[in-house]
Structure 1
Amino acid sequence: MMRVVLPLCLLLASMFARGSEAAVSCNAVQADLYPCLAYVVQGGNIPQSCCTGIKMLKQQAKSASDRQAVCRCIKSAVGRVSYSSTYLKNAATLPGKCGVKLPYKIDPSTNCNSIK
């Protein structure tokens, strides 16, 4: 259990602590994606609040700099914690399962600078 809780705490802390110059802050990203954590860690059913958060994130990131900032927040958080391939797979599938097309993949190798 501690192996799961510690990475999640670090993920949330890193997302919460890191700001952004774009209109969408990492605090907003964290708030929108927080309901998704249970699915990322445990799988199962995706909470409707998670899908609502992903839709909100897309709506709030109107400019290229906003989309790049959201991407960087997610990438930074993923890069700071120990994660498993299952967590990454679950996180990467969230937009599609929620019916949301994001302009980037939720993946630590995503080049956020290339997002338009």
Structure 2
Amino acid sequence: MASSVVFKLAGIMLLCILVAAPLTEASVTCGQVTSSLAPCMPALTGGGSPSPACCSGIKSLNSMASTPADRKAACSCLKSAAGSVKGINLSAASGLPGKCGVHIPYPISTSVDCSKVN
């Protein structure tokens, strides 16, 4: 009888682990990052103030990246995009969240270590 309870308890624990494991993965995709920030391209390449649509995208992305895994994924996408878009002004990119009233816990830069983002 005791071994039956142990097996049931072990089965329940295994089920909990299997259900909880996917929850630790990032849910923010690079596609979401790109589409959220697409309205920001004029401000990133030509300078100037961000549009209301740009700030809305930044705020939306910031709220999507609510877990450390999400923030790391968003950071990696931002880093990759910052390095691949021709004509991007990295100084403008790093200042864009602040111009929209959003604080992010890491700089937007091609040299940021996204593995250290919490």
Cα RMSD over matched residues? 1.4
1:110 aligns with 2:112: yes
Give structure 1 regions of 4+ aligned residues with deviation exceeding 6 angstroms: none
> Which of the two has higher C-alpha Rg?
2
Give the secondary-structure state (helix, strand or coil) at the position aligned to 1:35: helix
Match for residue 34 of structure 1?
Answer: 38
Shift of the 112–31 alpha-carbon distance from structure 1 to 2, 3 Å rule, reads: same
Q: TM-score, normalised by structure 2?
A: 0.74
Deviation track 1:52-84 (CA, whole Å, cap 9, x = no partner) reads: 111111100111010000000011122234456
Match for residue 58 of structure 1?
Answer: 62
What number of residue pairs does the alignment pair up? 94
Deviation track 1:8-28 (CA, whole Å, cap 9, x = no partner) reads: xxxxxxxxxxxxx62000000
Q: Within 5 Å, give how 1:1-116 maps onto structure 2.
A: 22-83=26-87, 87-116=89-118
Structure 1 vs Structure 2: percent identity of aligned residues? 44
Query: Structure 2: any 5+ residue segments left out of the alignment?
Result: 1-24
Query: Structure 1: any 5+ residue segments left out of the alignment?
Result: 1-20
